[in-house]
Amino acid sequence: MHISQFSLRDFRNYQRIDLQLAPGITLFYGPNASGKTSLLEALFYLATTRSPRSRSDHDLVRWDALGEAGVLPFARVAAEVQRRMSHVRLEVLVQRRADEEGQLTNGAQKLVRVDKRPARALDLVGQLRVVLFTPVDLALVDGPPAERRRYIDITLSQLDPRYVRTLAQYQRIAQQRNSMLRAWRERRRPLRGIDDELAYWDQELSQAGGFLLAERLRAVAELNQIVGPLFCAISGETNPLQISYQASLELDDARTAHDLSQRLSEELRRLRQDEVARGQTLIGPHRDDMSFSVAGIDLGRYGSRGQQRSVTLALKLGEAELMQQRSGETPVLLLDDMLSELDTQRRTHLIAAIRRPAQQTLLTATDLGDFGAAFLAEITRMRVEGGQVYPG
């Protein structure tokens, strides 16, 4: 798939831009803080309804956006997405909220439209599929587990609408369940009714959790097929990369959603006292992790910096490949200032990967000197400066 048209209004430092994009490679270049990353952020937001950099949506609205008479300031991101057999128009409005005095608050509401029809945010996810690769991702291998869960969740959410919905539901159930466990830990509630009161939440958590686990295990198995050899090609090493899913509970060979739910539910019952003592849900997809190893050596712990970069690059290209295999369409690659972070060998590999036909890639850079003349001759260039984007 590719984005053919893309417009922003009052998004970050952009007042209003409207761009026509071609398949193939488009390079956005310009000085630091000119808004290159915001372009990729807007597209990631349109694909996932989440910003990769800020937690609160109101940050996305340009700071001096005025709105119109009687309308609170809002940011708008819209794009036309061309798929193999169809096309779709996506639009998200992020509108700031005001308190009763009319002062803007830190709240914001999201309005989503798909082909001009109002839709739920969850229904937007998966319409446009992207793989974002930024310098922050280089911490994927040795960073905190939450980063690795995010990687697999974002990939699967874009591929399967059921995954997004189940994940949202799972998080809600875990929150409710945690607040009950906290109440027991702090002796705010009598302990005697505990099994009865948890029965529903255990059942729902196991059911949603079993589905998420089964999907993640399946994705890891598929990724291993892709990423193993890809890593060898990128790093020049002979042993393939192996991803292992580290579940927070003993899986005992359970692989189907049904069996995994069963396992979760058994373990939840067994851990009752520990969970009450800690006041939180101790097992489930929200506590799982993944590890990366080559020839049995854990790269998170013992890998060199270069190896860790090769892993991240393989994971990101692998993510794109997995999306292609499952859906038959190539996702849009968004590379934020990545080439300057990689050495010559890895850079050559990345450039070869994005040069494939039918692959749309949007990349940012501060310096055109990172690229060879031959490369620059065959791509589209856009100069970014002062909240404007100019061709050439």
Partner 1 sequence: MRPESAIIVEPVARLIEELSKLPGIGPKTASRLTFFLLRAEEGQVQALAQALLAMKEQVHFCSRCFNITVAALCPICQDTNRDQSKICVVEEPLDVLAIERTAAYRGLYHVLHGHIAPLEGIYREHLKIDELLARVRSEPVDEVVLAMNPNTEGEATAFLLLRDLVPLGVRVTRPARGLPTGGDLEWADPETLGSAIHGRREL
- Of 201 and 292, which has the nearer Cβ to partner 1? 201
Residues β-bridged to residue 391: 382
- Tokens representing 78 are 């819209």
Element (H, E) at 316: helix 305-327
Shortest Å distance, C-beta 300 to partner 1: 34
Tell me how many degrees the CA angle 265-270-274 measures, rounded to the nearest 5.
Answer: 115
Shortest Å distance, C-beta 127 to partner 1: 14
The pairing of strands 388-391 and 25-29 is unpaired
Task: Report how far residue 300's alpha carbon sits from residue 302's, in angstroms, rounded to the nearest whole number.
Answer: 6
- Of 87 and 120, which has the nearer Cβ to partner 1? 120
- Of 64 and 99, which has the nearer Cβ to partner 1? 99
- Of 199 and 352, which has the nearer Cβ to partner 1? 199
- Quickly tell me which residue has 């069963």 as its tokens: 262
Shortest Å distance, C-beta 255 to partner 1: 24
- Of 124 and 247, which has the nearer Cβ to partner 1? 124
Spatial CA neighbour of 327 closest among 48, 78, 52, 130? 130
Shortest Å distance, C-beta 83 to partner 1: 17
Shortest Å distance, C-beta 208 to partner 1: 10
- Of 59 and 204, which has the nearer Cβ to partner 1? 204
Shortest Å distance, C-beta 173 to partner 1: 6
Spatial CA neighbour of 132 closest among 331, 346, 341, 370? 331
Helix (H, G, I), strand (E, B) or coil at 191: coil
Interacting residues toward partner 1 by CB under 8 A: 99-102, 117, 120, 123, 161-162, 165, 169, 172-173, 175-177, 179-180, 183, 189, 196-197, 199-201, 203-204
- Tokens representing 282 are 């101790």
Cβ-proximal residues to 292 (8 Å cutoff; 6+ apart), any chain: 141, 241, 242, 243, 244, 298, 299, 300, 303, 311
Question: What HEC string does 56-77 produce?
Answer: CHHHHECCCCCCCCCCCCEEEE
Shortest Å distance, C-beta 279 to partner 1: 12
- Quickly tell me which residue has 């999201």 as its tokens: 110
Spatial CA neighbour of 222 closest among 265, 174, 271, 160? 160
- Of 200 and 390, which has the nearer Cβ to partner 1? 200
Tell me how many degrees the CA angle 288-290-295 measures, rounded to the nearest 5.
Answer: 150
- Of 162 and 305, which has the nearer Cβ to partner 1? 162
Sheet with 25-29: list strands edge to edge.
130-133, 332-336, 361-365, 25-29, 380-385, 388-391
Shortest Å distance, C-beta 48 to partner 1: 18
- Of 200 and 302, which has the nearer Cβ to partner 1? 200
Shortest Å distance, C-beta 325 to partner 1: 23
